């Protein structure tokens, strides 16, 4: 049973955001790190396909927007967010290396992910589209805010996902996912606040927020299904005997190995409420308590203490 499943939700506590320089040892982590559950394993493994390039892109876009930030507290939070996202990118890239060592090469898929973030969503609009630079930046900030809505939901889910503990999921992978999930809850409001601060005023700002979610939700669904199908198809241990199916996915959901479709879908109308703020999302208390107990986070904190003495 996960020790983080019973913590109550809480409100909008102010909380300092700072990166933790964690590391993980993947030597003993099996390819199917949820035993006998290849579909659930690879649905979650899509994170490793998307996040190295995606979170590098978050940092690049925020660097572009930093000169627009005039609020000192927000600037502090944004810099903490950028540090956390850069660390997430690196640690998930190491998992891709681990998959390659187990003969699951993801390069053919990640090339498309790199193209999405570096070219289609790069510093200049694609195909020379005549979009003003400030408007293009605001659009990309709206996408990041929408993506972070889902990462906060997923982060809160994995902290309380007792099904993964019952299934005997690999402890190192669980620590990676829960450390990352806890930090997503910890900085759940930063991307939204950054967009609100830099995204203009009034109805146009809200319209861009809606547009950001209208693009993000279907694109994430598409990339997740495509990524899962890719991983299962190229899994050397499955050798083509299995294909991704909605039935197998839903069986994993019923076992508590994946979030429900309702949990994910309900994140969209919440986000679209004019009065919404992500500080209402998940439990910061649960996230902070996990970070105090995470083996990787505790090791990183101890290293900082040793370096300072």
User: How many other CB atoms are there within 10 angstroms of residue 251's CB atom?
Assistant: 15
Mean pLDDT for the chain?
93
Per-residue pLDDT at 125: 94
Per-residue pLDDT at 308: 64
Read off the pLDDT band of 229 (50, 70, 90): very high
d(CA 68, CA 134): 10
The answer to whether the CB of 148 falls within 8 A of the CB of 77 is no
In this model, does residue 6 exceed pLDDT 70? no
% helix, strand, coil for the chain, step of 5: 70, 0, 30
Read off the pLDDT band of 305 (50, 70, 90): low
Please tell me whether the overall predicted TM-score, pTM, comes out greater than 0.85 for this model: yes
């Amino acid at each position: 049973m996960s020790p983080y499943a019973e913590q109550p939700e809480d409100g909008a506590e102010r909380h300092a955001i700072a990166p933790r320089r964690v590391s993980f040892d993947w030597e003993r982590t099996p390819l199917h790190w949820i035993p006998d559950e290849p579909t659930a394993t690879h649905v979650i493994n899509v994170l490793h396909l998307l996040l190295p390039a995606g979170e590098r892109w978050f940092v690049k876009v925020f660097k572009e927007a930093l000169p627009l930030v005039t609020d000192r507290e927000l600037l502090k939070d944004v810099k903490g967010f950028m540090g956390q996202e850069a660390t997430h990118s690196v640690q998930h890239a190491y998992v891709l290396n681990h998959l390659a060592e187990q003969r699951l090469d993801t390069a053919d898929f990640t090339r498309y992910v790199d193209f999405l973030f570096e070219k289609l969503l790069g510093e200049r609009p694609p195909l020379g589209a005549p979009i003003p630079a400030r408007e293009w930046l605001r659009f990309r900030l709206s996408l990041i805010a929408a993506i972070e809505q889902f990462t906060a939901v997923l982060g809160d889910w994995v902290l309380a996902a007792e099904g993964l503990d019952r299934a005997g999921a690999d402890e190192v992978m669980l620590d990676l996912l829960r450390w990352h999930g806890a930090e997503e809850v910890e900085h759940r409001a930063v991307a939204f606040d950054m967009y609100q601060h830099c995204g203009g005023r009034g109805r146009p700002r809200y319209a861009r927020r809606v547009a950001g979610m209208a693009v993000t939700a279907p694109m994430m669904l598409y990339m997740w299904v495509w990524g899962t199908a890719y991983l299962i198809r190229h899994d050397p241990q499955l050798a083509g005997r299995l294909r991704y199916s909605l039935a197998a996915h839903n069986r994993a959901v019923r076992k508590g190995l994946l979030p429900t479709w309702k949990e994910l879908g309900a994140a969209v109308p919440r986000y679209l409420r004019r009065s919404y703020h992500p500080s209402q999302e998940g439990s910061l208390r649960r996230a902070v308590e996990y970070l105090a107990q995470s083996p990787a986070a505790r090791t990183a904190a101890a290293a900082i203490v040793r370096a300072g003495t």
